[in-house]
Amino acid sequence: MFDIRKMRWSEEIADVLNLPLDKLPRIVKPWDIIGELTQDIAEKCGLVTGIPIAAGAGDYTASSLGTGLTRPGLCIDVAGTASVLAVSTTDITPDKKYRTLLYVKSIVPELWQVGAYINGGGLCLRWFRDEFGKYEKERAKEINVDPYKLLDEEASKVPEGSEGLIFIPHLGGRAYPNQPDIKGIWFGFTWKHTVGHFFRSIMEGIAYEYYHYMKIAKSLFRDLQLEEIRRIGGGSKSRIWAQIKAETLNIPYVLLDKEEYAALALAVIGGYAVGAIKDYKQAIDKWVKPVARIEPQPKKHKMYKRYAEFYEHLLYFTNNIFNEHARLF
Q: What is the pLDDT of residue 258?
A: 87
Model pLDDT, residue 207: 98
For 281-297, what is the mean pLDDT?
Answer: 94
Average pLDDT over residues 276-301: 95
Q: Does residue 48 form part of some domain?
A: no
pLDDT digits (tens, 9 = 90+) for 152-181: 999 999 999 999 999 999 999 999 999 999
Cβ count near 17 (within 10 Å): 10
pLDDT in the model for residue 22: 92
The answer to whether the CB of 162 falls within 8 A of the CB of 111 is no
Assign 4 a pLDDT band (cuts: 50, 70, 90).
confident
The amino acid at residue 208 is: Y
Which tens digits make up the pLDDT trace of 79-109?
Answer: 999 999 999 999 889 999 999 999 999 999 9
**Residue 5 reports pLDDT greater than 90:** no
Average pLDDT, whole number, for the chain? 96
Indicate whether 125 belongs to any domain. yes
With contact defined as beta carbons under 8 Å apart, do 108 and 283 qualify? no
Domain assignment present for residue 111? The answer is: yes
Residue 289 CA to residue 291 CA, distance in Å, equals: 6
Determine, yes or no, domain membership for 9: no
Q: pLDDT tens digit string along 20-48?
A: 999 999 999 999 999 999 999 999 999 99
Q: Phi/psi at 301 (nearest 5 deg)?
A: -65, -40
Domain containing 234 — which CATH number?
Answer: 3.30.420.40
Residue 232 banded pLDDT, cuts 50, 70, 90: very high
Say what the pLDDT of residue 186 is. Answer: 98
Mean pLDDT for 179-193 is 97
* pLDDT of 274: 97
Q: Is 318 contained in some domain?
A: yes
Does the pLDDT value for residue 278 go beyond 90? Answer: yes
Can you give the pLDDT at residue 291?
Answer: 92
Q: Is residue 243 part of a domain?
A: yes
The residue type found at 50 is: G
Which of 123-130's residues contact partners 24+ apart within 8 Å by CB, and which partners?
123/81, 123/82, 123/171, 123/172, 124/167, 124/169, 124/171, 124/184, 124/202, 124/205, 124/206, 125/151, 125/199, 125/202, 125/203, 125/235, 126/81, 127/171, 128/198, 128/199, 128/202
**Domains contained in the chain, number:** 1
Residue 29 lies in a domain: no
Mean pLDDT of 111-115: 96
**Structural domain span for residue 325:** 72-257+290-329
pLDDT at 259: 84
Whole-angstrom distance, CA of residue 49 vs CA of residue 51:
6
**Does residue 308 belong to any structural domain of this protein?**
yes
What is the 3-state composition of the chain as percent helix, strand, coil, each rounded to the nearest 5?
A: 45, 15, 35
